[in-house]
Amino acid sequence: QVQLVESGGGLVQPGGSLRLSCAASGFSFSWYGMSWYRQVAGKERELVASITSSGAVTNSADSVKGRFTISRDNVKNTVYLEMTSLKPEDTAVYYCKVFRAGTTYWGQGTKVTVSS
């Protein structure tokens, strides 16, 4: 069974940094592209960044470009999101996603709160 488990969220001050992790299992991780999305209560879930199976970044939201970096470790079956220069508007639940065999799978999400 496909499983995605996010971790690393928490409270951070504006200008701070945070590293999110998504541990994947139940499928051949190295063959699939992965994505990070985020969602604020009452708003649509939005794409933050994507990465191909070989490690090439394919997407990055304009609001986080230059501040966030997506990466992956195909040995650890983990995708990361390095976040720097965090702003209050980055506050959201961050989700890991994979599209495999015609189905989209989501993790449970990890909450990031940026506040002083």
At residue 59, does pLDDT exceed 80? Answer: no
Is residue 94 a contact partner of residue 112, using CB atoms and an 8 Å limit?
yes
Measured at the alpha carbon of residue 55, what is the angle toward residues 52 and 59, in degrees to the nearest 5? 55
User: What pLDDT does residue 95 have?
Assistant: 98
Counted residue by residue, the chain has a size of 116
Is the pLDDT confidence value at 11 over 90? Answer: yes
Nearest to 28 by CA among 91, 77, 86, 89: 77
Q: Read off the pLDDT of residues 75-112 as tens digits, 9 standing for 90 and up.
A: 999 999 999 999 999 999 999 999 999 999 999 999 99
- pLDDT of 36 reads 97
Q: What is the pLDDT of residue 103?
A: 97
Predicted pLDDT of residue 77: 98
What pLDDT score does 58 carry? Answer: 79
In the predicted model, what is the mean pLDDT of the chain? 96
